[in-house]
Amino acid sequence: MTKPLSLLLLVTGLAGCQRTASSPEPEAAQGTTLVGSWRVTAYQCNCPPNYPLPNESVTFDASQHFKLYRNKVLAAEGTYATGQGSNCGGGTSEPIITLTASTPNTYVPEGAYTLTSNTLVIDQCSAADGPKYTYTRQ
């Protein structure tokens, strides 16, 4: 009598954990792509104390184009590419993002990047005093 009861509890427990086909999974869909709008929410740099957080956002589209806004004004636009490389001249290969502005000599963040759920981090070699930007999906 114990076995049928245990089996019934196990089946009931497993049935309660099943997902339905209509369950939305926005994190899975958005968490693996750069496409969308991102806002700076943290900034790490070799800056003076109380250095203000930059008012910066960037949008990436599926055609490998970006637009970078500073203080809600378009500061740069161009193309972006991702791949593998070494940040800071180190020997370890890691994901790298390269933004190429349409206007020469325009500053844009680029370097090693990580994309986790709705957080994008672009590290411009913070180990060597380069800035590190943390963006949150808007």
What is residue 47's predicted lDDT score, i.e. its pLDDT?
83
What is residue 134's predicted lDDT score, i.e. its pLDDT?
96
DSSP state of 14: H
- Cα–Cα distance measured from residue 73 to residue 97, given in angstroms and rounded to the nearest whole number: 23
Q: Using alpha carbons only, what angle is made at residue 25 by residues 23 and 27, rounded to the nearest 5 degrees? A: 160
Contacts of 102 by beta carbon, 8 Å cutoff, 6+ apart: 76, 77, 78
* Domain 26-137 falls under CATH 2.40.128.270: yes
Parse the chain into domains and list their residue ranges. 26-137
pTM listed for this prediction: 0.73
Structure tokens that stand for 122 in this block: 């672009």
Q: Which amino acid is at 54?
A: P
Q: Which amino acid is at 34?
A: L
In which residue ranges of the chain is pLDDT below 50? 1-30
What is residue 50's predicted lDDT score, i.e. its pLDDT?
86
